[in-house]
């Protein structure tokens, strides 16, 4: 049986050694305008099928790419190509809902998107409202991108 009756001199705890005074969150995070530029470049690149440009947009290792986890940049580019091959055309509009959260490791951007596609398979839904989540590393590269379907028809 332990005796938990003890006292601590609060002044003797080295609190400053536990506090990050370098403000590393601010120095490693991406500003909101740069986040908007990265999102715009990403969708413009995918729509124009400029697959080589994705090499400059994606991080070397992708933590999450829609339903795939821990994949290489080249695998993410191949998946993006294959997704596009299943579509006749697409239209997307990023609604004015951008939320940006910053941490030491990455910046998370989430936004609502209207997404319409003309499918080869007419039995599948073609209009979606999506919640898109992107994680952007401190180098301004996309390390994760995935979606949550809010509505479809």
Q: How confident is the model at residue 93 (pLDDT cuts 50, 70, 90)?
A: low
The 3-state DSSP class for residue 79 equals helix
- Which is more confident, 31 or 2? 31
Full-prediction pTM beyond 0.85? no
| Closest residue by Cα to residue 146 from 49, 66, 80, 84 | 66
How many Cα atoms within 13 Å fall on the side-chain side of residue 96? 0
Q: Which residue has the higher pLDDT, 103 or 144?
A: 144
What is the overall mean pLDDT for the chain?
A: 81
pLDDT-based confidence at 23, cuts 50/70/90? very low
Task: Please answer whether residues 145 and 66 qualify as being in contact, where contact means their C-beta atoms are separated by less than 8 angstroms.
Answer: yes
CB 133 within 8 A of CB 71: no
DSSP state of 22: S
Closest CA to 92 of 129, 41, 137: 129
36-78 pLDDT, tens digit per residue, is 899 989 988 888 889 999 999 999 999 999 999 999 999 999 9
């Amino acid at each position: 049986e332990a005796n938990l009756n003890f006292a601590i001199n609060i002044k003797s705890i080295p609190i400053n050694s536990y506090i990050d005074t370098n403000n590393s969150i601010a120095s490693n995070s991406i500003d909101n305008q740069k986040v908007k530029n990265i999102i715009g470049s990403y969708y413009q690149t995918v729509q124009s099928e400029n697959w080589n440009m994705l090499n400059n947009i994606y991080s070397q290792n992708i933590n999450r790419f829609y339903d795939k986890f821990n994949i290489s940049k080249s695998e993410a580019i191949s998946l993006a190509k294959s997704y596009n091959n299943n579509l006749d055309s697409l239209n997307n509009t990023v609604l004015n809902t951008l939320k940006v959260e910053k941490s030491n490791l990455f910046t998370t951007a989430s936004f609502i998107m209207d997404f319409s596609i003309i499918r080869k398979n007419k039995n599948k839904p073609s209009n979606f409202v999506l919640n898109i989540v992107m994680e952007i590393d401190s180098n301004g590269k996309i390390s994760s991108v995935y979606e949550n379907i809010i509505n479809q028809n």
